């Protein structure tokens, strides 16, 4: 959510930002917000005037009664009663207008970075850097589901019977590999100075609306029937929500946290051959990193965070690239975002395995997360980034470490988490 002061002072900047995101249908929101804000301020001024008048009139009543001017005192009392009725109506309308204004402001996208490329959708994202030389082996790389089945590492048919489409059982060495990657990612981030957390896996609606846009919520979140609870789509949701309504001490910042959680997503519209298997699923596990910092520090943290993901993948021998997300591919709360994509030897192209975002103070305003300074309290900046999400990481891992005989090499950094095992072999 942007600052209302910015909207008042430079509405054309806000309109131009909406155009850059190709959300022209949202342009009327600017005038609607300005109109509601004007009405709210007018109501507040009238209310303040009536409160001031109430004090003055009360003094008049006392003075008139001392002079035994009862009729005049009663007339002033009638005015006080009328003012009280009007003040009550003003307060009710102010609450109604304020709620409407909040809802409109929450639909206006955050101002994007000057470094964000302008484009309509993810096809216009811009590659910035590559890490490790991508290779294509001299043998055919099977589809990842076929690799997993030959390793006896997955059972999708049983999952369909128990849970439906978009679920799976991981078994044996592959399940152990999955856990090993998460444990390695956890320790990797702890060694970077991040504090490890396991958060709640369900959050209330006021947290959901604070961490994401209404469109994202509808497309991602599963609601618990009959309760004000949602299953998290990523641990960022409950991790940022942890600080809702808090004013932090400046000395606490930056807060650098890394969290493990299962994630639950509707994945609306997911289909096609590349969605078959474990690419798009309704339940998976992930290691995340979250930073809450001062505004002047957030750009530096953005660069550090996506580089940590790159470093993790490179340490496992997986070639990756960084892709700057264009304006049309940014969710409404994001100031800037990039994807880390891993190389697929089978497809001979890169695919997304993680995403890093700087949301500046957009989430903090919605959740009222501040920190104290000598001059008063200031909204903090929030950032989040995928350390690793094993379903997609497994695809990249299997394809990049596959041998011609169907076995999969275990890189050195993961062997301590695999009991010293050096490869997974076809059973």
The CATH number given to whatever domain includes residue 371 is 3.30.930.10
Tell how strand 349-358 and strand 336-344 pair up: antiparallel
Do 214 and 313 reside in the same domain of the chain?
A: yes
**Confidence class of residue 271 from pLDDT cuts 50, 70 and 90?**
very low
- Centre a 10 Å sphere on the Cβ of residue 137 and count the other Cβ atoms it contains: 13
Predicted pLDDT at 85: 81
Do 299 and 407 reside in the same domain of the chain?
A: yes
**Confidence class of residue 58 from pLDDT cuts 50, 70 and 90?**
low
The whole domain housing 342 covers: 122-424
190-207 pLDDT per residue, tens: 999 999 999 999 999 999
The model carries a pTM of 0.89
Would you say residue 45 lies in a domain? yes
* Mean pLDDT for the stretch of residues 370-384: 95
Q: In what order do the strands lie in the sheet with 230-231?
A: 202-203, 230-231, 222-223
3-state secondary structure of 84: helix
Would you say residue 160 lies in a domain? yes
**Confidence class of residue 315 from pLDDT cuts 50, 70 and 90?**
very high
Would you say residue 112 lies in a domain? no
Would you say residue 199 lies in a domain? yes
Do 128 and 204 reside in the same domain of the chain?
A: yes
* Mean pLDDT for the stretch of residues 81-96: 86
**CA separation for the pair 325, 113 (Å, rounded):** 11
Do 152 and 292 reside in the same domain of the chain?
A: yes
**Percent of the chain predicted with pLDDT > 90:** 79
> Which residue, of 51, 72, 105, is where some domain finishes?
105
Per the DSSP assignment, residues forming a β-bridge with 256 are: 291
Instruction: Please tell me the least confidently modeled range out of 159-173, 203-217, 352-366.
Output: 203-217
Do 172 and 252 reside in the same domain of the chain?
A: yes
Instruction: Please tell me the least confidently modeled range out of 8-12, 120-124, 272-276, 307-311.
Output: 272-276
Would you say residue 198 lies in a domain? yes
CATH classification of the domain holding 93: 1.10.287.40
Do 137 and 263 reside in the same domain of the chain?
A: yes
Predicted pLDDT at 272: 47
**Confidence class of residue 255 from pLDDT cuts 50, 70 and 90?**
very high
Answer yes or no: is pLDDT of 80 > 90: no
Would you say residue 404 lies in a domain? yes
Tokens of 177: 């590999």
Do 100 and 194 reside in the same domain of the chain?
A: no
- Centre a 10 Å sphere on the Cβ of residue 321 and count the other Cβ atoms it contains: 18
> Which residue, of 36, 71, 105, is where some domain finishes?
105
Assess contact for 235 and 199: CB atoms under 8 A.
yes
Do 101 and 160 reside in the same domain of the chain?
A: no
- Domain count along the chain: 2
Do 82 and 151 reside in the same domain of the chain?
A: no
Do 292 and 403 reside in the same domain of the chain?
A: yes
**CA separation for the pair 122, 268 (Å, rounded):** 17
Would you say residue 114 lies in a domain? no
Do 131 and 72 reside in the same domain of the chain?
A: no
Distances (CA, A) of 154 to 151, 170, 182, 277, 411: 8, 5, 18, 10, 21
Do 413 and 342 reside in the same domain of the chain?
A: yes
* Helix H or strand E segment including 229: none
């Amino acid at each position: 959510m942007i600052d209302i002061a910015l909207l008042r002072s430079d509405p054309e900047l806000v309109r131009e930002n909406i155009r850059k995101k190709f959300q022209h249908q949202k342009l009327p929101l600017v005038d609607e917000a300005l109109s509601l804000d004007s009405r709210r301020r007018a109501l507040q001024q009238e209310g303040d005037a009536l409160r001031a008048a109430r004090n003055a009139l009360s003094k008049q009543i006392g003075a008139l009664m001392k002079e035994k001017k009862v009729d005049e005192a009663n007339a002033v009392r009638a005015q006080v009663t009328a003012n009280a009725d009007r003040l009550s109506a003003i307060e009710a309308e102010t609450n109604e207008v304020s709620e409407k204004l909040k809802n409109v402001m929450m639909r206006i996208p955050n101002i994007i970075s000057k470094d964000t490329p302008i484009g309509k959708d993810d096809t216009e994202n811009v590659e910035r850097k590559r890490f490790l030389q991508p290779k294509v082996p001299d043998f055919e790389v099977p589809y990842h589901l076929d690799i997993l089945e030959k390793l006896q590492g997955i059972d999708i048919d049983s999952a369909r019977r128990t849970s439906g489409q978009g679920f799976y059982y991981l078994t044996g060495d592959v399940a152990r590999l999955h856990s090993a990657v998460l444990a390695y990612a956890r320790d990797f981030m702890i060694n970077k100075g991040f504090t490890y957390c396991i958060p709640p896996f369900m959050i209330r609606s006021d947290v959901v609306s604070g961490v994401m846009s209404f469109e994202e919520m509808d497309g991602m979140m599963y609601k618990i029937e009959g309760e004000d609870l949602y299953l998290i789509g990523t641990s960022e949701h409950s991790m940022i929500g942890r600080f809702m309504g808090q004013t932090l001490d400046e000395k606490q910042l930056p807060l650098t946290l890394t969290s493990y959680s299962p994630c639950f997503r509707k994945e609306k519209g997911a289909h096609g051959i590349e969605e078959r298997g474990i690419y798009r699923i309704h339940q998976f596990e992930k290691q995340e990193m979250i930073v809450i910092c001062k505004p002047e520090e957030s750009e530096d943290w953005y660069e550090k965070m996506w580089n940590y993901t790159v470093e993790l993948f490179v340490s496992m021998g997986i070639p990756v690239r960084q892709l700057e997300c264009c304006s049309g591919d940014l969710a409404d709360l994001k100031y800037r975002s990039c994807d880390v994509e891993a190389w697929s030897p089978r497809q001979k192209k890169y695919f997304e395995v993680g995403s890093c975002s700087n949301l500046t103070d957009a989430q903090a305003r919605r959740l009222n997360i501040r920190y104290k300074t000598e001059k008063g309290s200031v909204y903090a900046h929030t950032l989040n980034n995928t350390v690793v999400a094993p379903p997609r990481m497994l695809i990249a891992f299997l394809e990049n470490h596959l041998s011609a005989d169907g076995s999969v090499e275990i890189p050195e950094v993961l062997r301590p988490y695999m009991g010293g095992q050096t490869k997974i072999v076809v059973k």
